[in-house]
Amino acid sequence: RHCRAAQSLLRCSATQARQASTLLYVEHSENGTVAPATLSAAAAAKHLPGQLEALVCGSGEAVKHAADAAARLPGVSKVWLASDAALEHPLAETHATLLSSLAARQKPSHIMAASTAQGRNVLPRVAALLATQPVTDVVRIVDDDTFVRPIYAGNAFATVQFKTPPAVRVITVRPTAFPVDQTAAAAGAPGTGGKPAPVEPVPSELLAPLGSVPAAKWESADVRSTGRPELGSAKVVVCGGRALKSAENFAMLEQLADLLGGAVGASRAAVDAGYVANDLQVGQTGKVVAPDLYIGVGISGAIQHLAGMKDSRTIVAINNDSEAPIFSVADYGLEADLFKAVPELIEAVKKV
């Protein structure tokens, strides 16, 4: 009992020390569009008390567009704009240094980012710089100090609580767990309406040290634009497995995805075999997807793959083995040879 009383006293004094507020790390594309995952993080931030401020880092016109878009996100009361040559590329070292120094100045109670490759790279560094521990991949916010996150590849959920509340709670949130309303989605596009929050430049003394941050060197980015929606936020995902047998055979999944306005994903076995690039991998060590419709083609449904897609609203599985584990999570299962079933499905969809 004494312990609980002490904890609640500590929590109380931590809340008194700093006003409840959240500082959101915004990811954006090269043309200044706020990343869909950040929209989800903004939706998650609504579950926390106090004001929501956003930090947009970059350089040139793109970062200004992104700041304008972030200023229209529902709930955002202020945008911090950090425009500097040292922030031109999304290097975790410089972004984390800036985010932590802004947090040290503004004293938010929470720092939040989406649990994307970039968010997972930046936020733990921020936590280390602020001498605290991050809570990652949050799927539910219980209260200011208590968060639910998946463990054991999504087979169980842990409710974790800061026992001795730190000065600042650093958390990443799983985008698929926090749906984005249409207003927020529209706000993510530049040039949309709504009364924007003020955009304020980050104080120059916080930018000055960035040039000397020991950072990884940015060499180049190899971005392939497919014209399809981003895998992590697509409403339809067509996923292929080892059974596709070649990169060429993935073309039929691309055709099906295009007809359905969806994204293409893959199992790790298909990625390891070199059929598709590894940014298409879905699963425990790939991307987590929760589309309205997931179609798994020639995928067995190993536990590590299920960890990345089992929250999809409707799951369709095509597999020639009736014992394939994916059938245990599928809403619709088709026991068939994919090389016959997928072309038939494509023809059927074309007729709709």
Q: Are 96 and 119 in contact (CB under 8 A)?
A: no
Smallest gap from Cβ 231 to ligand FAD, in A, equals 13
Residue 241 tokens read as 């497995």
Residues 6+ apart with CB under 8 A from 344: none
Residue 168 marked ligand-binding = no
305 binds ligand FAD (CB under 6 A): yes
285 binds ligand FAD (CB under 6 A): yes
Smallest gap from Cβ 176 to ligand FAD, in A, equals 15
Exposure pattern of 209-247 as b/e (b: 16+ CB <10 Å)?
ebeeeebeeeeeeeeeeeebbebbbbebbbbbbbbbbee
Q: Are 24 and 42 in contact (CB under 8 A)?
A: yes
**Separation of alpha carbons 325 and 106, rounded Å:** 50
**Separation of alpha carbons 318 and 330, rounded Å:** 10
Smallest gap from Cβ 349 to ligand FAD, in A, equals 18
Residues 6+ apart with CB under 8 A from 180: 36, 39, 40, 42, 43
The residue within the footprint of ligand FAD, chosen from 98, 112, 269, 290 (CB under 6 A), is 269
How many residues line the site for ligand FAD (CB under 6 A)?
A: 28
The residue within the footprint of ligand FAD, chosen from 252, 324, 330, 345 (CB under 6 A), is 324
Smallest gap from Cβ 329 to ligand FAD, in A, equals 13
A 10 A CB-CB count for 37 gives 26
Smallest gap from Cβ 205 to ligand FAD, in A, equals 43
How does strand 146-151 pair with strand 236-240? unpaired
Closest CA to 19 of 110, 80, 98: 110
Residue 302 marked ligand-binding = yes
337 binds ligand FAD (CB under 6 A): yes
The residue within the footprint of ligand FAD, chosen from 89, 166, 242, 259 (CB under 6 A), is 242
* Smaller CB separation from ligand FAD, 206 or 269: 269
146 binds ligand FAD (CB under 6 A): no
231 binds ligand FAD (CB under 6 A): no
The residue within the footprint of ligand FAD, chosen from 43, 171, 293, 299 (CB under 6 A), is 299
DSSP 30: T
Q: Phi, psi at residue 98, to the nearest 5°? A: -65, -45
319 binds ligand FAD (CB under 6 A): yes
286 binds ligand FAD (CB under 6 A): yes
15 binds ligand FAD (CB under 6 A): no
232 binds ligand FAD (CB under 6 A): no
| Binding positions for ligand FAD, rule: CB under 6 A | 241-243, 267-270, 281-286, 298-300, 302, 304-305, 308, 318-321, 324, 337-339
